[in-house]
Structure 1
């Protein structure tokens, strides 16, 4: 049988296979418990915290797309990150990016404060600093492209350095999804997602997932998710798979819109910098092109004028919506310093390069001309 292409897997995995009546769409299985076939004999399902058909199908589809051994579907993206970190013990060190998503930074800092493990926040673009931090470390956490500055980490090199030091590697692939990047094929041991974002793509479900490269790393995650109950709900899994069906066509159009927006922003005198690896002169362009199959729909830019300019800008927009989250069909703008990265604190944000004039865009499926007109309106307001 010919191996299916990723877009085909996303669109058809599980279709016309999960229902005795021949339903094309896999049915929603809301039952919390399942009948035993006899004494000490189950059908494979006994209690929905341990296993559920909708959650299992979503996990299977994600594992196929990421080319992993299997996946665990969780209640949120942060639950996925926390599950991936559950393999660490007291005394272990995780090396994390100094410019990661604010929620991830908060989780790592709080876990370290409680003594669950140690954390070293490092500029992972500095190879010497990364090598030094990895000495004695148990885990390397990568986020590429980074949120919100779109910095790209060389996954192959980072995995090689980590494995030489005896550490495993987790990559947060939320910004690109398996449609545009597959970190397990580049050497990573685990991939985490906030499936809330591009994988679901409609801003109506919260969820997460961890995909493991090997079976022996997958089994402890499955067991711990069952023990703690950090699993995703059946309806959420059903809705996420529904969104996943259109991932490839959505992200292709969103990327085209993002390229148009990035080019427009570069020409604005009020913009100090645009962070989008799809721009040919972006510092990360060549590296991104070597390990990604596209540049995605996320970008950020720095406004002259700081907070007053940001306030005028977000008050003038009509099509972009001021909101957190990303990856939906609608375009969003966020102010990281007061929204997604507020938990980092001013000193940590300054070290990461997240200034008060920085705005992050999640570019959606609207007509590109309408998006550019909306931006023109906002720039006119701060001219």
Structure 2
């Protein structure tokens, strides 16, 4: 069977992971080396000369990512922000403009607002679920429309297909941060997006033991001026050097092999948790795209396989009680990040999104974000119940 005929899990387990040529090992070796013996000057054995430029373990991961997202080429980085920074510098130049979501990861906005601004790149903020808002934010110099869907931390949903059409109408790229959904639940490139990014720290790694990032460039990009984007990203990856180390690449590759089964359980547990929170007297609002009353539910149902493992909710009693609830859970661990097998709870306004306080991206103080893990769901509900019942 050709790779394109294989199902998701088969590609996750096998793409880029042929048995080792010398030993037959079925798991990609960790090539923990900085340099390689050359067969004469300029004679790179297998194309490898120095591990910043290429490393076989990283190549295996990058090949797998391209296969899972349906792209032309994948690139692995030292973190999600390293991936985003490399892509943005490869695609943009001083004087260019980018549209960013009004609900986005605080680190992404900090990168755009505090780093790229000094490089001469301008940005506008738009409500990414509202096409008219995005359209109004576009300028003649707009080169990228940046999308998270679901968004972090308000779980908003963007219509990828519609935004791709809008971006291409204005000769701009559509870039989708697919971290919250993962390649298993959502395929942005198949919906018209041009580039996908990931923090592989999250669901792709899946075990809270690695930090990494990825970029996957789509096939046959038709946006004027970007036909060579794959080559530009490759050049910047090597020139800037924020690459995934071999052990980190190996850990993410291992995580991808079980992504499908883990995501199914994350989704199942999150649905139960969201239903519980919806009926609790101390909860003012539950933000989860799997709920029929969520404004993006229909779009999410159309473009996602399931609705993900992230749930946010607002506490009726306000910010002070929300903070106390975060400290009272026992199975939900108070911590940043997401997407691991263990459940996490956090207060975005004072943790992951503290950097956007005072900006248009500031999140409500009464908001709690849950990364619902794959523990027994009855235990997760009981843990939330005891904290909520005690404090609300």
Corresponding residue number in structure 2 for 1:40: 42
Tell whether 2:15 aligns with 1:30.
Answer: no
Work out the CA distance in 1 between the residues paired with 2:181 and 2:327.
29
Q: State yes or no: 1:367 paired with 2:382.
A: no
| Correspondence list, 1:1-383, <5 A | 1-2=1-2, 3-43=5-45, 44-86=47-89, 87-136=91-140, 137-214=142-219, 216-350=228-362, 354-383=363-392
TM-score (norm 1): 0.97
Mean Cα displacement is larger for which, 259-268 or 309-318?
309-318
Distance in 1, Cα, partners of 2:345 & 2:376: 16
Structure 1 unmatched ranges of 5 or more:
none
| Residue 281 of structure 1, CA deviation | 2.1
TM-score calculated relative to the size of structure 2? 0.94
Distance in 1 (alpha carbons) for counterparts of 2:368 and 2:81: 22
Report how far residue 13 of structure 1 moved. 2.6
- The answer to whether the 8 A contact 2:277-2:283 is kept is yes
Q: Is the 1:155–1:186 contact (alpha carbons within 8 Å) kept by the matching residues of 2?
A: yes
Q: Contact 1:75–1:207 at 8 Å: present in 2 too?
A: yes
CA offsets 1:48-87 (integer angstroms, 9 cap, x no match) = 0000001010000000000000011011000111111112
Tell me, which stretches of 5 or more residues in structure 2 are unaligned? Answer: 221-227
SS in 2 for 1:346: coil
Alpha-carbon RMSD across the aligned residues, in angstroms, is 1.2
1:214 is displaced (CA, Å) by 3.2
1:108-144: CA deviation from partner (whole Å, max 9, x where unpaired) = 1013431430011111222222112223111111111
Task: State the distance in 2 between where 1:89 and 1:349 align.
Answer: 24
Quick one: distance in 2 between partners of 1:164 and 1:113? 25
Q: Secondary structure at the match of 2:350?
A: coil
Q: Aligned equivalents of 1:330 and 1:64: distance in 2?
A: 27
The Cα offsets for residues 291-325 of structure 1, whole Å up to 9 and x where unpaired, read as 11111101100001222211321222100011000
CA contact (8 A) 1:77 1:195 kept: yes
